[in-house]
Structures are given as C-alpha cells and as structure tokens.
Amino acid sequence: MQIIQANNYNVEIGNLMESSFSKLLSEYSDVKKLILVDENTQEHCLSYLITSFDELSDAEVVVLPAGEENKQLGIVGNVWEMLTEYGITRHDLLINLGGGMISDMGGFIASCYKRGFPFVNIPTSLLSMVDASIGGKTGVNLGHFKNQIGVFNNPIALYIDKSFLATLPDHEIKSGYAEMIKHGLIHNAELFDRVMEMMRTNPNEIDVQLLMDCIQVKNSVVTQDPTEKGLRKILNFGHTFGHAIEGHWMERGGMTHGHAVAIGMVMEAKLSELRRMISSQEYDKIENAIIQQYEMPSYSDTDIDAMIALMSNDKKNISETVRTCLLDTIGKCSFDHVIGNAEMKEVFRFFQKN
C-alpha cells in the first residue's frame, strides 16, 4: 500500500482490501452508511464493495443517472430529500463510488447537507483516480456552465484501487490520460513523455508508479494552494477552451471531459506559441502527441461564437476578463493570462476543419 499525505487526509493507493478502509468502517460501525453510485458503477463496482466489506451489507445505496448532463442541482436536491427520508444525520458516512461526476456531486451533497457530514472517495475511473477525487473541489454544473456551484471540502479518506479500471471503457481510459498528460505538461517534461509512451504502447496496463507520479503532481499543487488563490490555477491548463468545448458538446451527444481538455490543451499550447512563450518545435511536439490520440472535432462559425460566449462565463475569469493558463515551456505553466475575443477566435479558426 502506497500512502500520500494530503490536506488532513491520506490517499491510499493499492488493493482496497488491504487498505485502512475496513478499519475506517469499523470506526463508523454505529452510524448509517450510504453509498453513492451511478448506473454504471452500480453495475460494475458496487457488488465488489458490498460483498467485500460486511459493514456495508445494510448500507443504503443511492443511484444517480450516469453522464455529465446529470451533474445538476436538481438531482442534488432529489438526493438531499432522500437523505432526509433515510434520517441521515451529521454523524453518518457517505461513500462516493464512481468517477469524477460522483465524487464532485457526492462531495457537494455531503458538504451542504445539515452543514456537512463526512464522506470517503473511492474513485473508479482513471480520471477521478489521478485528478477529480483529490483536492477538495466539489460541485455541479449550472446548465452548460461547468462546475458553477460548489464548495471546497475534502473527503476524510481516499482509496485508489486500480482494479476498478478493468470494466472502464477504452474511451474513458483515454479521457483519464488527458489529465495525466496535463500533469506532465504543467509540471514535468519527463512525466509528459512517460505518459505519452504508456498511452501509445500499453494504455490499459497503467503502471502504478506512473499513477502515483501523476497523483503526486496534483496533490503537491493542491496542498500548497487548497483554495486556488494562485498556484493551483495551473491545474486549469487546457480547461478554458476545454470547458467551453465540453459544455457546448453537452447537447450534441457529449464529449468526455478528458477529450475536451486534451483539445483545450492543444489550443492553449497554440496560444502559448502565438505569444512566443513556447517554440514552434515545442508546440509541434505537443500537437503531434495529442492529436494522434484525440480527434479534433468539427465546428462551424456559429459554434465558435457559442463557445466564446461560454468562455466569457468561466469561473477563472476576473472582472469579466477571460483568464487562461499558458505554457512557458513543456513542464512549466503560468496562469492569469488575459485573452480577448479576437485571440480566442483566432485559435478556434486555426483548428477549424473546412
């Protein structure tokens, strides 16, 4: 079992059965336990959890519809009503068993209900293992605007067991790789090369050391700046364009979070090159690596206007100016760069297919 110390909790990486989860459940033996899943993690992950831990045999299970379009306040409201029906108190325990949608929503549900009760994250997607379950950001979307409502609050424990990935579809594995690529691009050029190499050669056999190194990047940034006053903003690299793309695609059949972020990273790398912050060679290396793995979507001029409108409402903006992260080199990122509509349009147009 590998243990990384986070802000007031431990991240344990390894077989869940050998982790401290059982001990934690015994500490909560006298209270109600709730497990939050979505339809897919109910099907693929829940029975393992319930059959492996006797303490969970009488846990209430709350099942949410799967998919980013359901990460909405209305659904959170329904769950809060269920919690009232189950008589949940501030002493009870919520276990989030799922991807980033479940840890974001579950963390928010537990943080606000009766002013907060404890929750544990057991991520089941690659993206949530390397990113979403760590760092205390919880919340929901507001229509197409991503993560507009939420709070910072940490789980009491986080257990990462990569055996859950056995049932994760390939496109979701790919989605998780995008955030791993990001961790390399913003923090460590050698990590970027290792992630790309693994993705090219053996994407489903995720090396534990690589997983750990990506988790360490996220954890070290969020422990230094838990509420995103400065440094933590670098984790948003790829997300200014990425969130607009993801939000815009929500009603066009959807695009995984990671796919949108991957495209967003290419666009923000392009902007870094246009501003002469990175060289053309560096930009070409990034574009070649990412575009081989993630298809650039087609979009019209009307789509560009809609995506620019979404970017104007991004949480990272200050005083109505759009702010983004840009690369200083591969492995180093800076934040709070102001960008105007003309520049956004130039970048979108550059990647527009005829």
Q: Which residues bind ligand NAD (CB under 6 A)?
A: 38, 40-41, 44-45, 66, 68, 71, 98-102, 104, 124-125, 127-128, 131-132, 135, 137, 146-147, 164, 167-168, 172, 175, 257
Please state, as a whole number, how many other Cβ atoms lie within 10 Å of the Cβ of residue 260: 29
Closest residue to ligand NAD, judged by C-beta, is 100
Q: In whole angstroms, how close is the CB of 29 to ligand NAD at the nearest point? A: 27
When the beta carbons of 137 and 270 are compared against ligand NAD, the nearer one is 137
Q: In whole angstroms, how close is the CB of 219 to ligand NAD at the nearest point? A: 11
Q: In whole angstroms, how close is the CB of 71 to ligand NAD at the nearest point? A: 5
When the beta carbons of 88 and 221 are compared against ligand NAD, the nearer one is 221
Cα(100)–Cα(128) distance, rounded to whole angstroms? 5
Q: In whole angstroms, how close is the CB of 68 to ligand NAD at the nearest point? A: 5
When the beta carbons of 249 and 283 are compared against ligand NAD, the nearer one is 249
When the beta carbons of 10 and 167 are compared against ligand NAD, the nearer one is 167
Q: In whole angstroms, how close is the CB of 128 to ligand NAD at the nearest point? A: 4
When the beta carbons of 126 and 322 are compared against ligand NAD, the nearer one is 126
Burial of residue 54, with CB atoms counted within 10 A of its CB: 0-12 exposed, 13-18 middle, 19 or more buried: exposed
Q: In whole angstroms, how close is the CB of 233 to ligand NAD at the nearest point? A: 13
When the beta carbons of 208 and 338 are compared against ligand NAD, the nearer one is 208
Q: In whole angstroms, how close is the CB of 354 to ligand NAD at the nearest point? A: 31
Spell 194-215 as b/e; 16+ CB within 10 A means b. bbbebbeeeeeebeeebbbbbb
CA distances from 30 to 9, 21, 27, 92, 110 (A): 22, 16, 8, 9, 18
Cα(214)–Cα(176) distance, rounded to whole angstroms? 11
When the beta carbons of 98 and 155 are compared against ligand NAD, the nearer one is 98
Q: In whole angstroms, how close is the CB of 165 to ligand NAD at the nearest point? A: 6
When the beta carbons of 127 and 311 are compared against ligand NAD, the nearer one is 127
When the beta carbons of 246 and 282 are compared against ligand NAD, the nearer one is 246
When the beta carbons of 107 and 282 are compared against ligand NAD, the nearer one is 107
Q: In whole angstroms, how close is the CB of 324 to ligand NAD at the nearest point? A: 17
CA nearest to 159, candidates 211, 124, 206: 124
Q: In whole angstroms, how close is the CB of 140 to ligand NAD at the nearest point? A: 9
